[in-house]
Structure 1
Amino acid sequence: MIPGMNPRKMKQMMKQLGMDVRPVDDVQEIVITTPQGKYVFDQAEVAIMKMQGITTWQITGEPRFEEAALTIPDEDISLVAEQAGVPVENARAALEKSNGDIADAILNLTGKAE
C-alpha cells in the first residue's frame, strides 16, 4: 500500500486498472534453486498479481543462501586420473580443489599450471 492512501480507494484504483492482487496464505517455505545453490525463504509473504493477462508472483522476505554441493562425475575423475597418470583419490582431490574444472585439475597434477 501507498503510505497515507486510503486502502479502499487503493483497491478501487487497482480494480479500474484491471489489477487483481491476492495473498497466498500459510506459506511455509519457498526455495529458488540456481546452479550456485538455493535461496530459501523460511518466512515470506507471497502475493499473486494479475494484470493485463500477465500473472506475477511477489515474494517479500529475507532469504538465506545454501551453496550447492559440488558433485563430480566418476567419468571426470577417471579422465583426470588417466590423463595426469595419478591415482583416482588424487584426481578427485584435484577436481574438488579446481571446482570440477577438468583442465585445471590435470594441469595442477602434472605441474604445468601457471
Structure 2
Amino acid sequence: MFGGGGMNPRKMKQMMEQMGIDVDEIDATEVVIKRADGNEIVFSDPDVTKMDARGQETYQIIGEPSEREGAAEVESGDDGGAADEAIPQGDVDIVAQRTGASEDEAREALEATDGDLAAAIDQLE
C-alpha cells in the first residue's frame, strides 16, 4: 500500500497517523468466516488488526486457516427461528472437552439450552 518494504515501522505509523488512519491489534482467539454453502473458514489463534481510515474499518487476519463443514441451511416452511439454527461444532467441542461428555451428549445439552455454553456445561456436570 505504501511501498515501504524496508520502511521503519515507526515512520510508517507516523505516516498513517498523518493520513488519519488508526491501527489497533485485536486479541482474538478464533475467527470464523461462514460461507454461503454452509462451510466455514476458521482461523485459530489469529493475529487480527483493525484499521480505521476515516470511518472505513478494515480487518486483517493473519494465521493458518482450516476448513470446517458447517450445517447445511435448513429449509422449512416455518419462520426460521432460533430452534432451526445449527449448533456450531466448536461449541460442541468446548462442552464435550469441559465435561468429558460425548459429542452427541454435548450437542443435545446445547440444543436443550438454546446454545448456551455455560448452561449446557452445568447440565452435564
Give the TM-score range, shorter chain.
Answer: 0.5 to 0.7
RMSD: 2.4
Cα deviation for residue 30 of structure 1 reads 1.0
Identity %: 43
Distance 1:40 1:12 in 2: 33
Cα deviation for residue 29 of structure 1 reads 0.9
Cα deviation for residue 67 of structure 1 reads 2.2
Cα deviation for residue 7 of structure 1 reads 1.5
Kept in 2: contact 1:29–1:40 (CA 8 A): yes
Question: What secondary structure does 1:5 align onto?
Answer: coil
TM-score by length of 1: 0.55
Kept in 2: contact 1:20–1:50 (CA 8 A): yes
**Structure 1 portions without partners, runs of 5+:** 76-114
Q: Which has the larger radius of gyration?
A: 1
Of 49, 52, 55, the residue aligned with 2:51 is 49
Question: What secondary structure does 2:10 align onto?
Answer: helix
Q: Which has the higher strand share?
A: 1
Question: What secondary structure does 2:50 align onto?
Answer: strand
Cα deviation for residue 62 of structure 1 reads 1.8
Of 51, 61, 73, the residue aligned with 2:63 is 61
Question: What secondary structure does 1:65 align onto?
Answer: strand
Work out the number of aligned pairs and report it.
74
